[in-house]
Amino acid sequence: MKKRLLILTTLQICLLLTPLQLYAYRHGYQRKTDEIYATVRHDLAVYYGQDGEDFNEFVPSFTGIRVIDRDGSWRLIEYTKKKETRTGWITNDDFYADCLVYDGRDKQIAADGQYSVTWREKLTPEQTAVSVSPAERSSYEKNLDLSLTYAGYHTYLISKTGTSRFLQADGSRKRWGSRTSAGTFRLVRNKDTYLIRDDLTGRCLAPGTGGILSFSDQNETGARLVLKDDRILDEPRLRVFAQFDADWGKDYYGKGKNDDPEANNFCTSGCGIFSTLNAIYTLTGHFADPHLLADYAVKEEFRVEGNGTDSGFFEAASEEFGRDYGFSYNGSSDSVGTLKKKLKAGNVAVAHVPGHYAAIVDYNPKTKKFLLLDSHYLPKRRTCPYGDWITRKTLEESDGLTAQMYYFFKKLPL
């Protein structure tokens, strides 16, 4: 019964932000979970009980909350204030009016999927003293196809692609075994490579003699992960990173000091950054740090104070971060027909819609609809926090989503 209530709640949230008579889009995915995460937009009144008279305190704006129960017209929430985890009751009306819902799953540094993993051995001083061509460098690299499965708490299970054999923890008698005895591993990013670190011993995975995997105390051999899947489109891997997420919503998007903390932040101005993040994640499986993208936009003067991000950012960002995250820029167009062709070829797009950017990551030829990921859903766009399948007519004629230009990204080759 609880799960039925939760699904109804999720729909009610989207319908509240998008009036029923206007709501026309099917969700890209549904979060099947007993928890709802949201960011407080305005100070939120919290009560000890459900009588509305036993007032406790206000939860300040940009605080993240987690709905852990509901009873009639009340919701029990959990939140952090002054480094303390607290609980309290809020009304449904206040929740609908003062909170923005987002996907609260852990932010995986790499999505679940099949990857071609390339280990780069550290070059000798003699080798680094001269320019090494890509062809020459390949002689120092070892490749293996591995699948990553998120295990929670920022750790992963690693298996041989196409098998049920999982990598065991450092020190195990077997290198590969069953899932029940598998080790867990952390990914530590260093530009375009990762250290794959055993969670038990802290030692790093590396190819040994003959390409056999081994563990080492040396943290100098990084692994490059290239997604072999077409795109991250199936549940539960598909997701929308929201610019108002409590982990960063209030962070300043600019240079120097923010004179207006309620504005010029990711929540109000970060659509260009987060549409890029959503496009990259869907295309390559890599989570691009939004602060890194934003700092670059500010440094190169693509940040337009009081507005958002200049469209030149998309090509420039691909030149700056493409190698790190496995993508490249593939031109722009104002044609929906070109958008459809590019999506069918495996590209993704950032769309410029009225006053906003959003990612478009798939096209379904059967329904003739496009999958749009909106990092800041609003009633005028009739979108929700879990992606929306929209028609060509919507992209060409709707008030909130008529696209003026598309900027395309493609995946770098294996």
Amino acid 66: pLDDT: 96
Q: For residue 85, give Cα distances in angstroms to 64, 82, 212, 242.
A: 11, 8, 46, 23
pLDDT > 70 fraction of the chain, expressed in percent and rounded: 87
Cβ atoms 409, 327 nearer than 8 A: yes
Collapsed DSSP state (helix, strand, coil) of residue 282? helix
Of residues 32 and 299, more confidence is placed in 299
Question: 33 Cβ partners below 8 Å, 6+ apart?
Answer: 6
In the chain, % helix, strand, coil (3-state, to 5) comes to 25, 35, 40
Q: Tell me what the mean pLDDT of segment 309-331 comes to.
A: 97
The per-residue pLDDT for range 381-407, each reduced to its tens digit, is 999 999 999 999 999 999 899 999 999
What are the sequence ranges of the domains in the chain? 32-102, 113-227, 266-411
Report d(CA 335, CA 338) in Å as an integer.
5
Amino acid 138: pLDDT: 46
Amino acid 31: pLDDT: 72
Amino acid 20: pLDDT: 31
The per-residue pLDDT for range 160-185, each reduced to its tens digit, is 999 999 999 999 999 999 999 999 99
Q: Burial code of 326-352, b = ≥16 C-beta within 10 A, e = fewer?
A: bbebbebeeebebbbebbeeebbbbbb
Report d(CA 368, CA 11) in Å as an integer.
24
Q: What is the CATH number of domain 113-227?
A: 2.80.10.50
CA dihedral 127→208→204→237, nearest 10 degrees, is 100
Tokens (6 digits) for 396: 């060409």
- Range with the largest mean pLDDT of 35-39, 44-48, 259-263: 44-48
Q: Answer whether residue 242 shows pLDDT above 70.
A: yes
Which CATH architecture is the domain 32-102 placed in?
Roll (2.30)
Tokens (6 digits) for 333: 């167009």
CA dihedral 238→103→312→392, nearest 10 degrees, is 60
Tokens (6 digits) for 384: 């929700």
The reply to whether domains 113-227 and 266-411 share a CATH topology is no
Q: What is the CATH number of domain 266-411?
A: 3.90.70.10
Q: Answer whether residue 22 shows pLDDT above 80.
A: no
Q: Tell me what the mean pLDDT of segment 147-167 comes to.
A: 96
Cβ atoms 370, 339 nearer than 8 A: yes
Q: Tell me what the mean pLDDT of segment 311-338 comes to.
A: 97
| Mean pLDDT across the chain | 88
Q: Predicted confidence band at 305 (pLDDT cuts at 50, 70, 90)?
A: confident
Amino acid 30: pLDDT: 80
